[in-house]
Structure 1
Amino acid sequence: MRPLTVSSIGALAAAALASLALVPTAATADTSPRTALAASAAAAETPGATQSLPLLPLPGTRADQSPAAASSVGLPPREVHPFSMIGIVWRDPSVELHGTVQVRTRARGGDRWSDWQTLATHGDHAPDLGSQEAAGPARGGTAPLWVGDCDGVQVRVTAAPTSNKARPSLPSGLRVELVDPGADDESPDPAADEDRTTVATAADEAGAQAAAVNAGLTTSDGLEVKALSKRASELEATQFNPALAPAKRPFVGPRPGIVTRRGWGADERLREKKLHYTRTVRAAFVHHSATGNGYRCAQSASVLRGIYRYHVQSLGWADLGYNFAIDKCGRIFEGRAGGVAKPVLGAHTFGFNQNSMGIVVLGTFDTSAPSAAAVRSVSRLTAWKLGLYGGNPGSSVTMVSAGGKYAPGKRVRLRVISGHRDGFTTACPGARLYGKLPTARTGSAQLQGR
């Protein structure tokens, strides 16, 4: 797993040296091994970048008060290297941030600041306790927010009052993470697109590994898993799961087209190289990314690259937490590496990552409704993937908790297609998306022929 670093993309390498004065020394000051990699080496190889800036007590806080003891910390308006996604992290992932996190940004090249935007402070996406991934250098963090192309930032974090009259406090080690997901996928120059793809999916060991697990499923260029008819999908299913004998008429929906990790430009060098699997896929947990709805469908790959970089470099996870992602246009994307048809272990629903898959719909759906296309794609994806493992989208299943909302070892009855809130105490996937899950279940069962 690559540790948290402050790096620069190749295209900004020269510019970074010339404009380094824009980013204070504190932005790169970190005495931990996370900054051991030389920026000069990373700049020429890694597309995208993460700037990590410490949050300090805001004016009005006692001058002798440390950031750990302050009830209000932040970052004054500051010009920084360009970024498109922002999140707040802290040292201990077991500690929750009780309070309000707000950010303002300034579009690159402009002089107007956005309104204050609030980040979701939930810490509910995480590897399960006791897993190898949880033992790594993980951090606590907010949901990241997509803000578009920006070069100015301001942050304020305020602790919530406590009921026992104790001084409000915040987690220690608070930092703002400014994520540049790499070259924009909307470049009008085909040659530039080809160059970016070549860089982002270099034919190294990790890239070859990520492609090999989808062997025989993708188009010749490896950018997409091919869609299949229902009949072809049912016949193919017995290859993945021999228990689905053709004589038993497997209920498998038609395989949808899926943009591969190579297709959305995942830099395979960021993630942990070892792939981890569970025994089967018994349930699907639906999430929203809480990254906001201000992206265009042409930017979906960039949003996903930003979340991937945030999960790995900022939160310290092995890979992107979700197994699949769906954008507002209904496009389905491969998430965590390991193979779209295989039972890949994710880090999406703390307590229930074993024998399940996590599907994130890109956007925030507390008050905004998801698109009909996105809901249909939840049905399409679950009809196929759950079908490979004998799952009935309209039924329920007993899962064993690994901790969190339910005590470790507790047997919990859940819907085969559940919302994140069903497995953890959270508002995710937002009330409006959660309300669409009955529609998704019905559509998924119909696609399976039930």
Structure 2
Amino acid sequence: MAFKVLFSLLAVLLCANAVFGVKVISKAQWGGRTAKSRSNLASGLSYAVIHHTAGAYCSTQAACSQQMRNMQSYHMDSLGWSDIGYNFLIGGDGQVYEGRGWSTMGAHATNWNSKSIGISFMGNYNNDKSTAAQIAAAKALLADAVSRGQIKSNYILYGHRQVGSTECPGNNLYAEIKKWSNYRA
């Protein structure tokens, strides 16, 4: 009996990892630079903040990798930040791209960086519309964040405009995330 329960639990865990495990295009894979410095981001966070880059939309890994390099250069060289501002980004190709990653505090939302994970969609979502693949990737990334303990299971999801004076994440993406289970007005 104990063996059967243990086997069932193992099967559930393996299925959960298959569901929540997200393939992330690493900084090395997209050609990113090393951060100038970093601050640790705590685990067990209560918030996730969704953004858009307001830049060009990309639909292939090559184009999204170029957008990542451009954005990192802008954030580091023009804004003087230590690295790209977001923890993760979602490309129009439906893939997740590593920004600062899981354990490094972002620079994505003033006064919210230490208590949230920042996820940005590449493109301008006042004009662009998110694809089913992007939505699935973002939801899988959030589920992965919960399974890793990075954010709490009852985390609150905000659009950037809810925590700062901005149009971000764009009207189209904001309308989409309002349908997600952890979104709060």
TM, length-normalised to structure 2: 0.82
Q: Does 1:429 align with 2:152?
A: no
Residue matched to 2:105? 345
Residue matched to 1:275? 38
Question: Structure with the greater relative contact order (CA < 8 A, sep ≥ 6): 1 or 2?
Answer: 2
Residue matched to 2:23? 257
| Deviation of the 1:267 alpha carbon | 2.3
Deviations for 1:86-117, whole angstroms, at most 9, x for unmatched residues? xxxxxxxxxxxxxxxxxxxxxxxxxxxxxxxx
Q: Distance in 2 between matches of 1:290 and 1:375?
A: 17
| Deviation of the 1:282 alpha carbon | 2.2
Q: Which of 148, 153, 159 in structure 2 is aligned with 1:419?
A: 159
| Deviation of the 1:347 alpha carbon | 0.2
| C-alpha spacing 1:260/1:230, structure 2 compared with 1 (3 Å) | farther
**Matched AA of 1:367:** N
Q: Distance in 2 between matches of 1:352 and 1:233?
A: 33
Q: Which of 13, 36, 47 in structure 2 is aligned with 1:231?
A: 13
Native 8 Å contact 1:284 1:358 kept in 2: yes
- RMSD across aligned C-alpha pairs, in angstroms? 2.5
Native 8 Å contact 2:38 2:82 kept in 1: no
2:68 aligned counterpart, secondary structure: helix
1:286 aligned counterpart, secondary structure: strand
Q: Distance in 2 between matches of 1:343 and 1:439?
A: 28
Deviations for 1:134-173, whole angstroms, at most 9, x for unmatched residues? xxxxxxxxxxxxxxxxxxxxxxxxxxxxxxxxxxxxxxxx
Q: Distance in 1 between matches of 2:152 and 2:25?
A: 23
Q: Distance in 1 between matches of 2:12 and 2:178?
A: 22
Unaligned runs of 5+ in 2: 1-10
Residue matched to 2:65? 301
Q: Distance in 1 between matches of 2:12 and 2:52?
A: 28
Residue matched to 1:286? 50
| C-alpha spacing 1:329/1:429, structure 2 compared with 1 (3 Å) | same
Deviations for 1:410-437, whole angstroms, at most 9, x for unmatched residues? xxxxxx1211111111110001001111
Residue matched to 2:120? 360
1:19-418 alignment, distance < 5 Å: 231-232=13-14, 254-268=20-34, 271-272=35-36, 274-280=37-43, 281-293=45-57, 295-297=58-60, 298-336=62-100, 340=101, 342-389=102-149, 391-392=152-153, 395=154, 416-418=156-158
2:22 aligned counterpart, secondary structure: coil
Which protein has the bigger helix share? Answer: 2
Deviations for 1:243-276, whole angstroms, at most 9, x for unmatched residues? xxxxxxxxx96111101111101122xx31x331
| Deviation of the 1:344 alpha carbon | 1.8
Which protein has the bigger strand share? Answer: 1
Rg larger in 1 or in 2?
Answer: 1
2:97 aligned counterpart, secondary structure: strand
Give the count of matched residue pairs: 170
Native 8 Å contact 1:378 1:440 kept in 2: no
Q: Distance in 2 between matches of 1:231 and 1:356?
A: 26
Native 8 Å contact 2:90 2:96 kept in 1: yes
TM, length-normalised to structure 1: 0.35
Deviations for 1:381-413, whole angstroms, at most 9, x for unmatched residues? 001113322622xx45xxxxxxxxxxxxxxxxx
Q: Distance in 2 between matches of 1:234 and 1:380?
A: 11
Instruction: Work out the percentage of aligned pairs sharing the same amino acid.
Output: 27
| Deviation of the 1:234 alpha carbon | 6.1
